[in-house]
Chains A and B, each alone.
Chain A
Amino acid sequence: DGGITQSPKYLFRKEGQNVTLSCEQNLNHDAMYWYRQDPGQGLRLIYYSQIVNDFQKGDIAEGYSVSREKKESFPLTVTSAQKNPTAFYLCASRALQSSGANVLTFGAGSRLTVL
Chain B
Amino acid sequence: AQSVTQLGSHVSVSEGALVLLRCNYSSSVPPYLFWYVQYPNQGLQLLLKYTTGATLVKGINGFEAEFKKSETSFHLTKPSAHMSDAAEYFCAVSDPPGANSKLTFGKGITLSVRP
- Residues of B contacting A: mostly: loop
User: Once the chains bind, are B94 and A96 in contact (CB under 8 Å)?
Assistant: no
A109 and B99 contacting across the interface, CB-CB below 8 Å: no
B70 at the interface (CB under 8 A from A): no
Binding-face segment, B13-21, B75-83, B100-108? B100-108
> Nearest chain-B residue to A58 (Cβ)?
B102
A66 at the interface (CB under 8 A from B): no
A90-B43, A106-B43 in contact; A42/B97 too (CB < 8 A)?
no
Does more than half of chain A's interface fall in helix, strand or loop, or is it mixed? loop
**Is the C-beta of B98 less than 8 angstroms from some C-beta in chain A?**
yes
The answer to whether B97 touches A99, judged by C-beta atoms less than 8 angstroms apart, is yes
Segment touching B, from A14-22, A43-51, A68-76, A79-87: A43-51
**Interface 1/0s, chain A 88-115, versus B by CB < 8 A?**
1010100011111111101111010000
**Contacting pair A109 B94 (CB below 8 A):** no
B94 touches A101 (CB 8 A): yes
A residues sitting closer than 8 Å to B (CB atoms) are 4, 6, 40-43, 45, 48, 50, 88, 90, 92, 96-104, 106-109, 111
A to B CB contacts below 8 Å, 21 in the list: A40-B108, A42-B106, A42-B107, A42-B108, A43-B44, A43-B90, A43-B105, A92-B43, A92-B44, A98-B98, A101-B32, A101-B34, A101-B51, A102-B94, A103-B49, A104-B46, A104-B103, A106-B44, A106-B45, A108-B43, A109-B41
